[in-house]
Chains A and B, each alone.
Chain A
Amino acid sequence: MEKYKKIILGIESSCDETSAAVVRVKCQMSNVKCFEILSNIVLSQIDIHKKYGGVVPEVAARSHIKNILPVIQGALDEACVSQKDIDAIAVTNGPGLITSLMVGAETAKTLAYLWQKPIVAVNHLKAHIYAAWLQEAKSYKLKAISFPVLALVVSGGHTELVFMKNEKSFKKIGQTLDDAAGEVFDKVAKILDLGYPGGPIISKYAESGNPQAFAFPRPIMDSKDFNFSFSGLKTSVLYKVQEIKRQEQKKFQVSSFKFQENIAASFQQSVVDVLVYKTIKATQQYKVKTLIMGGGVAANKLLRQTMKSEAEKNGVPCIIPEIRLCTDNAAPIAVAGYFGKPIPWQKIDVDPGLDISEN
């Protein structure tokens, strides 16, 4: 059994989270792979960036530099392993902020050289999908993920539908034509003066709002392709907020009853409707056997519930990793490292605009 044992150190720094994780391969039969998280340390910079209303690249890179070694040490300690137990290092090389990516990549390269370990460059978007393999391990049911798989990766920088005929093949079949879903959450939060990050705040306000209060558009929901568009929705919200404010000024009224809550709920419903509708349509057209959803926006409660119930209605098993594995963290990076091919550390290079079909 020993020869199957594989311990991977994952390192992630593509945006504003510094993270390191130690993941152990528990079993690796031809059709079932399962992984155990020995440690997963995530140091978020959200509090630092809050006052700026968004991630500030220069500040992000500086905090990554300061935190990355303690975070890696913390991950090794918590997993009760030392460098000699590590079989491979996996690191995100894109997409993301170049200055942030470089901190993780250069650190990983240095460790690979120093410890003489194989190193794998990981596409961050693929890792969001591989998070599903961690979920399987947790349920203790050694059930294989059946292929083909359709995956929705939905985050602050991306909204993509990906078709996988096996665990190493990624074909993008649709994407946003303008803003990513997470980005409109941030921008709508800004329009409503709710602060940053937008995702959690919007869904909190939405909880006590009426999703039918405003009829916002469901952009390109009926188009034949699997692309998304959220920029026009953002503009519709802006028009509505401006209209309400103008009326308030005229009538010398204070804020309309629950106006922010209702806008938040109606906006969120629009995004969820479009994401779920197109994703389910793609599962039917591509006749997939499993649906996976990952990325930071997959932490949204309404999206999780709706996607799951619609997939079930259509008879497609749906895996959505638990929330802490949807947002940026290094555990899925380590899993992706298992599936990826090691390359000489000298050849590891970051690519801020890396596509999911590459690498």
Chain B
Amino acid sequence: MSSPQIEIQLIAAVVAVACAIPGVFLVLRKMALISDAISHSILPGIVLGFFITQDLNSPLLILLAAFSGVITVVLVEWIQKTGLVKEDTAIGLVFPALFSIGVIMIAKNANDVHLDVDAVLLGELAFAPFDRLLLWEMDLGPKSLWIMGIILFTTLILFFTFFKELKVSTFDAGLSSALGISPIIMHYGLMSVSSVTVVGAFDAVGAILVVALMIAPAATAYLLTSDLKKLTLLAVAIGVFSAIGGYWMAHWLDASISGSMTTVLGIVFLLVYLFAPRRGLISVLYRQKQQRTEVSLLTFLLHLNNHSEEENERHINHHNEHINWQKVRSKTVLDLALKNNMVSVENSIVSLTIKGKEFTDLALEYIITNKNENIEHMKDDFFLFRG
């Protein structure tokens, strides 16, 4: 590995971490698309900043562009408040318009600006190591590493300082204002951090891919855990893994680094989406099948309970008619009930056993008092065999 290669990977990893942290909160607060809006609408800010500073890595440019990101949020919220269009339409109108302005500004000044549309969409990670920070003739490393490093450092400080506040205001806005944590300050604080991060990362990975780096690690991690600390750590790990993995994939395919990073993120997400232990598609489908049988069993038991006096409702051949089920399903449910010792069959009449009765009464009580979650524990206690 050559030294620029190491530096590129280092920058990619730092960008991934810096994006993943605010991304977690954007996903949890259902504001994922705001990052999309910001990443597009900072473009005119960046171009304008570039006209003034002539340096893509100038702090002034980053502040200017981040400011235009915050303006976007304010503008979207203002349009929403007028009630002229729905919320999502407001977002969908604002950022393409601002982005278009940026693209046109670049196109009209193509000769003066060393920015091109490809760089806007993809960033220029491959060239990042060649823009060095020189202080007193000393080479301190790539500029963008410094910029992203500072942004990451600030984000981390804010994250650790306000972890409790972020957690409360994300999960319970009502409680947080009762505790004196202003949801508005948290909201705009998060928006400002996101804006600055997007601007910093823009140079490296481009407008649209920065969205992937923010949303995908957090969303993937969210399929694996709900614990905020684990979620953040996992999101960071997925981000770094995809950044490094993406670099090598790009190296191998001789294609865009940021495109590869996103593709690795996509593959990781797809795998987790399919195979995550509890929330993955396969596990969800399996559980749904199991739950369908279990709910059917509950229904069947309750039916027996409700009609303990009327034998004709409990005839073994008739319950599929009464409950309106297919024969096969009725058979499965009856077998399950028998296996679990919930029912007994005498002269083709199905009756609840004492255990079955106890189970049914308890389940009913839980449902009526809206403590549905207790049923899951109950199933563990009562069921020998599950659906």
A binds B: no
